Chain A
Amino acid sequence: MVTGPLFAVEDLHVTFAMRARSVEVLKGVSFDVEAGETVCIVGESGSGKSMTALAVLGLVPSPGAITGGRICLEGRELSGMPRKALRGVRGAKISMVFQEPMSSLNPVLTVGSQVAEVLRQHEGLTSKQAGARVVDLFRAVGIPAAEERAAAYPHQMSGGMRQRVMIAMAIACRPKLLIADEPTTALDVTVQKQILQLLKEIQKQSRMAILLITHDMGIVSEIGDRVIVMYAGRPVETGAVSDVLGNPRHPYTSALIACAPRVAAQDARRSRLPEIPGMVPPLERLPRGCAFEPRCPRSVPACRDAPPPYFGSAARRVACWLEERR
């Protein structure tokens, strides 16, 4: 019997080694995901959230590499696994849905054959068996006229339909963990809603864990159980979604929540959409202290001297010097 979490990342470091210098894009990312749970990673562009997803699958693009830490699925360590074994995990036990449904499907093969290929590879099905399963999967993800659609090419489908195909492909081998990297960012708002509902539905049936990467706090509140807020390659606040959104303790989290546009707010009609001043600093020129300090409205002198350690319990961790006084 496997004890411990379904999926765990411990102190993950990813470094890009360029000719003259090296840049650490992930500096000590730790989190775990339980079966049937949805964990969201939020942060701005450049915070390292997509890199975390790629690192989990061992797909960090060159010249980057995992330089430290452990990634474990059901107690088995993935980092350092032989390439062939890792290929057996990718797409089967851990699968991924990408941001761009328009470009994530091979344009010269029918969508059905692309999903069938995953089944044939990981489950050793014949093309006939795989074809039948593809139709079932297409029905399960709400693709109408599944049989005809399986013979369609990607350019013949809308973005929402293609994302459904991507999801069908991702759940084809009943993965333990689904990583969704901004799965709805490229879609219309109404289609976004449908896709999120679909993911929830699938999760309810299969107790699959979902690691959802997004920059949208609205999506987090809608679908997430727990949330990890990342900034400059490091989680700055983690906890249950209701706690973190209802009572943010890191100034960056508060700022992100304030930035989310609210349609219902009465006084929002004429007011300017709030924003976080400044930009994520370039990773090779991070300040000596807290990475968020230059943009932080509540910074204190201590913030400039050393990066903050984690405060709080495993259920609710915050990396901010303000926590020291609580």
Chain B
Amino acid sequence: MTVSAEPDPLDGVPSPLREHARFFVRHGSGMLGLSILLLIVAASLAGPALYGVDPFDVVAAPLLPPGTDGLPLGSDYIGRDILAGVLQGGRVSLMVGVLAAVISMALGTTIGSLAGFYGGRVDQLLMSFTEFFQVLPALVFAMALVTLFSPSLATITVVVGVVSWTGVARLTRAEFLRIRELDFVRASRAAGASDARLIWRVILPNAMPPLMVAGTLTVGIAILFEGGLSFLGLGDPNVMSWGLMIGGNRGYMLDAWWAATIPGAALFLAVLSISLIGDGLNDALNPSLRQW
């Protein structure tokens, strides 16, 4: 070919993903959140085995303050080890939180992307369906569902996912409505791309930044939901969780503040760390907010 090309000076520029990662690493509060979360994850994964106390065993007199009788965090209203409960409860909260968020994201992105991509009738139908879920008060709806089925970890996870997908669906739809009009979507269509390919390979990857943020925040919301249900006694009674501990010990707040406050603080820290990560991701994935 005789055509000469202009020189291009851009070499070794990192990929968008690596660039986002670099910005996240420099994001102070985002990294703080990530550190806290990693600590919680490590503690709840390795903790129960290392500590070796069954959270349901009665090991001491009830309502002992932290530090007494070899119990680092004291005992609850029937003499169970609070540290063992907090460690074990972390597993449940995190697992339910992540799985419910996955369910919620899967439902939300599927419904939102179909509605946004096809528009018209499909959009109307799917958005009416979404609104039906949105008008139901989420906690009441979740309580009704859990009582309808037996309260087990699996049902709680699914229920929390089912009541929290509507925001994701709306967000996905909005992103699809915006992106589907862009030139590169038209160009892909002109190159013969099928609808499925346009949705999955072309539009969805471009909608990912806000969805990743939403997904992260959904984990926090799901953890709170699980805590709320357990607090109300609608959790799985055979599994120690933070919500169950707060609910059980709340009657003794005046005599033994630590029994309900410590699992509460754990829950607070977990949700806070996830929110901080979400904020950090939002800044890192949104180029216009970056501080140069």
**A170: which B residues are within 8 A, CB to CB?**
191
**B192: which A residues are within 8 A, CB to CB?**
87-92, 118, 121-122
Measured between alpha carbons, how far is A178 from B183 in the docked complex, in Å?
Answer: 18
**Residue contact A153 to B16, C-beta cutoff 8 Å:** yes
**Residue contact A107 to B16, C-beta cutoff 8 Å:** yes
**Residue contact B16 to A98, C-beta cutoff 8 Å:** no
**Residue contact A103 to B13, C-beta cutoff 8 Å:** no
Known A-B contacts A98-B183, A107-B16, A121-B192; A142 and B201 likewise in contact (beta carbons under 8 Å): no
Measured between alpha carbons, how far is A98 from B184 in the docked complex, in Å?
Answer: 9
Q: Is B15 an interface residue (CB 8 A)?
A: yes
Report which of A95, A104, A156 forms a contact with B184, defined as CB distance below 8 A.
A104
Q: Is B291 an interface residue (CB 8 A)?
A: no
Would you give the shortest CB distance from B196 to chain A, in whole angstroms?
11
Interface residues on A, range: 35 or more
B-side interface mostly: loop
Measured between alpha carbons, how far is A157 from B187 in the docked complex, in Å?
Answer: 18
**A190: which B residues are within 8 A, CB to CB?**
6
Q: Is A67 an interface residue (CB 8 A)?
A: no
Known A-B contacts A107-B184, A161-B5, A198-B3; A156 and B10 likewise in contact (beta carbons under 8 Å): yes
**B16: which A residues are within 8 A, CB to CB?**
107-108, 153, 155
**Residue contact B3 to A106, C-beta cutoff 8 Å:** no
Cβ < 8 Å to B, chain A residues 135-168? 139-144, 148, 152-153, 155-158, 160-161, 164, 166
Q: Is A100 an interface residue (CB 8 A)?
A: yes
Q: Is B202 an interface residue (CB 8 A)?
A: yes
**Residue contact A108 to B3, C-beta cutoff 8 Å:** no
Query: Who on chain B is nearest to A181 by CB?
Result: B190
**B4: which A residues are within 8 A, CB to CB?**
142, 194
Q: Is A201 an interface residue (CB 8 A)?
A: yes
Query: Who on chain B is nearest to A198 by CB?
Result: B3
**A139: which B residues are within 8 A, CB to CB?**
1
**Residue contact B184 to A59, C-beta cutoff 8 Å:** no
Known A-B contacts A142-B3, A142-B4, A143-B5; A103 and B190 likewise in contact (beta carbons under 8 Å): no
- B residues apposed to A, CB below 8 Å: 1-8, 10-11, 13, 15-16, 182-184, 186-194, 197, 201-202, 205-206, 208
- A residues apposed to B, CB below 8 Å: 57, 59, 87-92, 95-96, 98, 100, 103-110, 117-118, 121-122, 139-144, 148, 152-153, 155-158, 160-161, 164, 166, 169-170, 190-191, 194, 197-198, 201
Q: A90-B189, A106-B188, A194-B4 are in contact. List 19 more A-B contacts (CB 8 A).
A: A59-B190, A90-B192, A92-B192, A96-B190, A100-B183, A103-B182, A105-B184, A106-B184, A107-B16, A108-B205, A109-B205, A117-B193, A118-B191, A142-B4, A143-B5, A153-B15, A160-B5, A161-B5, A197-B2
A–B Cβ pairs within 8 angstroms, 18 of them: A91-B192, A92-B192, A95-B191, A104-B184, A106-B201, A106-B202, A106-B206, A108-B16, A117-B201, A121-B192, A122-B192, A142-B1, A157-B8, A158-B6, A161-B5, A190-B6, A194-B4, A197-B3
